[in-house]
Amino acid sequence: MKFTNLISPCAAIVVFIAASGAMAAGDIAKGKRLAKKCTPCHTLEEGGKNKLGPNLFGILGSFAASVKGYKYSKAMASSGIIWDEAAFTEFMTRPKKFIKGTKMSFFGLKKSTQRADLLAYFKTLTNTELKPMGMGDAAKGKVAAVNQCKVCHSFDKGGKIVFGPTLFGVYGKAAGAVEGYNYSKALLESGLTWTDANLIEFLANPEQFIKGTKAKFPGVKSAKMRADIIAYLKTLK
């Protein structure tokens, strides 16, 4: 599948990514309740011991397999992943699909709202300021996005609107922020902002993430490609 169809209305007047923001930031209180699903295997407090799984305090922003004293699976230890918003969201969607060979037996959270809530709570489990980190390859993301999307989108600052809005500065932008583009009602009323986690959700399955979007395509199935595309979009500023 071409990424052209993913973020623009080329083939079926698809609305696109910059059109809306993404999912809401997440509810910390709800996320804390959801985190109880983790406690049979993990501790969440600072300095907590490792159980069937490693202690999860301060996990966001760290490299995978970095908790001392825990024996990780070979798949996790060799993944090279940084637990940023995108990686955390992907993993909690379907752990064994995201990292094949992980020892994690949890099936995952089906609802994007639940994943956002859990992410919001995990952001509180730290003593340091979280810094944005990306695991994607911007160069590969440029190939995936520019070569397949340039028919419908411009990528330059102040770029013209083609079939879809310019993608320059889309990362971190609120829904319907590009002037002169006719967005769908669903995107305009979403009240969302494009973050790593939200872009991951949209690129994975647009229609499931934003009910009523004009984007009539199944999404990008490769987690690595989604991460690469997001890494490239971050450079457009």
CATH number for the domain whose boundaries are 3-23+135-235 = 1.10.760.10
Instruction: Give the pLDDT of residue 24.
Output: 53
CATH number for the domain whose boundaries are 28-122 = 1.10.760.10
Instruction: Give the pLDDT of residue 14.
Output: 34
Identify whether the C-beta of residue 7 lies closer than 8 Å to the C-beta of residue 164: yes
Averaged pLDDT in 10-residue chunks for the chain of 237 residues: 39 35 72 96 96 95 90 89 87 93 93 94 84 71 83 82 82 85 86 82 80 75 80 91
Domains of the chain by residue range: 3-23+135-235, 28-122
The residues that bridge with 82 in the sheet, in sequence order, are 63
Instruction: Give the pLDDT of residue 103.
Output: 94
Are domains 3-23+135-235 and 28-122 of this chain identical in fold?
yes
